[in-house]
Amino acid sequence: MDFGLLPPGVDLCGSGSGPLLAATAAWAAVAAELESSAAGYASSVSELTGLTWFGPSSVAMSGAAAPYVAWLQAAAAQAGVTAAQAYAAAVAYEVAFAMTVPPPVIAANRALLMALIATNFFGQNTAAIAACEAEYLQMWVQDAAAMYGYAADAAAASTLQSFDEPPQRPPTKPGKTSRPAPWPKPPPTRPAPAPNP
């Protein structure tokens, strides 16, 4: 969008930085929850395999759980990056808002211009009209510069990476599907022999 074409005051609208700050808090909470889950799983696996459960099945379970813990940690880190990006976008908005000329100042300039034009019967207000227009042009340039800066900062902050899929369950045996083997069926029961009289 070419912000230089918009008159000052037109580009100052929207819901502000509130939704971006809410998104920051939400993503930070997701990151904390994912990190907590990863730490909990890692701790549980470590306790099981280090204290009470030994042997090949312990090693297999630990190896099977490791990719999920790593995925949770990576997802937590990425959610943290997303929270930081939302915060950067909120800061970019606040900086642009602070740089933008407030609408009442613009309205006062336009009202003064109309009053000067209305009372300029003999050209006595020509210099004041020119000064008023020059001030308005400066407001236009200032607002456009603020919006160009905001657009660049917001574009950088809103480039999000997609999250990786969680790891798939590995096959139980090479060449087999990842579906677990069914439980073995119990042997058929035979009726008990009748006692001999």
For residue range 73-119, list pLDDT tens digits in order.
999 999 999 999 999 999 999 999 999 999 999 999 999 999 999 99
Kindly indicate the confidence band of residue 183, based on its pLDDT and cuts at 50, 70 and 90.
very low
Q: pLDDT (tens digit, 9 = 90+) per residue, 123-176?
A: 999 999 999 999 999 999 999 999 999 999 989 888 888 888 888 876 555 555
pTM for the full predicted model: 0.73
Helix pair 103-118, 126-157: axis angle to 10 deg: 160
**How many beta carbons lie within 10 A of that of residue 73, not counting itself?**
17
Domain edges within the chain: 14-157
Q: What CATH code would you report for 14-157?
A: 1.20.1260.20
